[in-house]
Amino acid sequence: MIDFRTAPERYRHWRLTIEGRVATLALDVAEDGGLVPGYTLKLNSYDLGVDIELHDAVQRLRFEHPEVAAVIITSGKDRVFSAGANIPMLATSPHGAKVNFCKFTNETRNAIEEASARSGQRYLCVINGPAAGGGYELALAAHHILLVDDGSSAVSLPEVPLLAVLPGTGGLTRLVDKRRVRRDRADFFCTTGEGARGKRALDWGLVDELAPRSKLAEATGARADALVALSDRPVTAKGITLTPLMRSFTDTTLDWPHLTVTLDRAARTARFCLKGPDTPTPSTAEAIHAAGAACWPLALARALDDAILHLRFNEPELGTWILATQGDPSLASAADGALLSLADDWLVREITLLWKRTLKRLELSSRSLIALIEPGSCFVGTMLELALAADRSYVLDGGDARRNLPPPTIALTGMNFGPLPTCTGLTRLECRFLHDPAALDTAKAAQGRPLDAPDAEALGLVTFAPDDIDWDDEVRLAIESRAAMSPDALTAMEANLRFPGPETIESKIFARLSAWQNWVFQRGNAVGEEGALKLYGTGRQPSFDRDRV
């Protein structure tokens, strides 16, 4: 089982040090520290285990170190930055493992970019040796790239000429969209294995700054100080500790304090039940800080994120995720009110941004999502985003006489109108009513009041509102039909339908690039017995099928 829980004292591949307002993450990969046997992580090449540690470090810097305003990513090895994703690991991994690896790695890169853009914690990548493939893609996620100008250090994306695949974590898109490299130059750069160094790398916009090796430390310090000066992070604030996630697993049930996931392997489903707060969420910044990782919005977001990652990697055949909630809607609404009213507080900002990232991870998980709004539900504001993210949502029109529960309601809060956008930059309501602005205005006018099934259906906030006579059959047919269809076709269909409207760098990476990377990684030219990925390092030349399909 792949476990995403770790902590700095357990890192094998990264060294985290903090000096005042600057943190340094030094990549020093243990060659024998692969997540699974069968390959050696030479030249600071990485696998999923390396990136799990990076993900943890990025998260901890945001929550545990509010004083940190600049983060330096560099190599802990002499004269080598990173050779990128480990080639033998990719060559021997099953296809699904490769896709999940690339997706998770890019989500971590996105979190780095978000920290620079939204959290006042800007990343500086200091490339102190050759940076190839995924190593350069890591640099591309930084706010500023400093390359040592020593005649041998270079940046490169050699995947097309050497491996017959594409850069797996957004390198192509970030090159032309983020760094605005001219496309003819990008074409040359991506089809030459040696990449670019020194003046060409700077002139073409592949890096932001050069420094001779003799002055690298001085240049790094000056640039880090400049980034610190741009930050709004509090100098004297005390961070909170991201305590270890407590959970218990059986063969059919996954439990966290505020979340239970029930697995039905015969039906190929996982049913999420997110639990609303049992007590009022603190209404002051001081009280939220004192509650720390136990504060309900943060605790639930961390649990949901962990559950999503666990199911993605360890339960790939559970293709339908059923989203349910339970709890007191008034307490959930009050929790949203606290997050909104205290939005300028650094910790509250980080809690909201974690929800934003987690909801994006849910939508990008290649699973069918069905929301069930039943008596006792708590689909309010932030938790309503689960239903708005779902491919379909069902609300029961009526109560539950057996449990003496009234009819379910939903409610919109300010969290539904801006703080939690999708990867396109639009809110889920804006995606829903993309071509019907009047419907969006009507939904805004309904903010704050409980909406029963007829109201929710009339406002377009749910898909269906069956009564108790039809409920069981309609839900059963929806779930069974999903299990009967091709998972490949469903994944592609859902990805096409979930993100209407404008494209962003992020949506391009996950839609356009991920789709092509997924396809290319199955082609014989890459992974066949005579393919480039399989033969890399053997001295043998690949044999390509030349048909340009």
**Which segments of 122-250 does DSSP mark as H helices, in order?**
134-140, 171-173, 183-190, 198-203, 216-229
Among 37-46, 326-335, 471-480, 525-534, the minimum mean pLDDT is found in 525-534
- Which residue range(s) make up the domain with 166? 8-229
Count of domains in the chain?
Answer: 2
Of 485, 514, 536, the one marking the end of a domain is 485
- Tell me, yes or no, whether 25 and 174 share the same domain: yes
Half-sphere exposure at residue 520, Cβ-oriented, CA atoms within 13 angstroms: 18
Any domain includes 494: no
Q: Other CB atoms closer than 10 Å to residue 281's CB: what's the count?
A: 19
Q: What is the structure's pLDDT at 511? A: 81
How far is the C-alpha of 136 from the C-alpha of 216, rounded, in Å? 18
- CA dist 549 and 545 (Å) reads 10
User: Cα separation of 18 and 133, whole Å?
Assistant: 28
Taking only the tens place, the pLDDT of each residue in 263-289 is 999 999 999 999 999 999 999 999 999
| Domain co-membership, 220 together with 271 | no
C-alpha to C-alpha distances, 528 to 517, 536, 544, 545, nearest whole angstrom: 16, 12, 10, 10
Residues 362, 486: Cα–Cα separation, whole Å: 20
Residues 23 and 62 in one domain: yes
Mean predicted lDDT score pLDDT of the chain: 96
pLDDT at position 485: 96
What's the rounded Cα separation, in Å, for the pair 510 and 97?
16
Taking alpha carbons only, the member of 21, 140, 126 closest to residue 70 is 21
Is 510 within a domain? Answer: no
Band of residue 519 on the pLDDT scale cut at 50, 70, 90: confident
For residues 74 and 155, state if they share a domain: yes
In this prediction, residue 144 carries a pLDDT of 98
Q: Are 350 and 205 contained in the same domain?
A: no
> What CATH number is given to the structural domain containing 367?
3.90.226.10
Q: Give the pLDDT mean for 94-98.
A: 92
Q: What is the mean pLDDT of residues 177-203?
A: 97
43 assigned to some structural domain: yes
The whole-number pLDDT of residue 516 equals 82
Confidence of residue 259 (pLDDT cuts 50, 70, 90): very high
Give the end-to-end CA distance of the chain in Å, rounded to a whole number.
38
Read off the pLDDT of residues 408-436 as tens digits, 9 standing for 90 and up: 999 999 999 999 999 999 999 999 999 99
Helix and strand element counts for the chain (H, E):
22, 18
Same domain for 336 and 475?
A: yes
What percent of the chain is predicted at pLDDT more than 90?
93
The pLDDT value given to residue 549: 75
| Burial tier of 19 (Cβ tally within 10 Å: 0-12, 13-18, 19+) | exposed
**What is the pLDDT, as a whole number, of residue 446?**
97
Q: Residue 123 class from Cβ within 10 Å (0-12 exposed, 13-18 middle, 19+ buried)?
A: buried
Domain boundary residue among 466, 485, 504? 485
Q: Which two tokens stand for residue 36?
A: 């699974």
How many CB atoms neighbour CB 486 within 10 A?
Answer: 9
- Confidence tier at 401 by pLDDT (50, 70, 90): confident
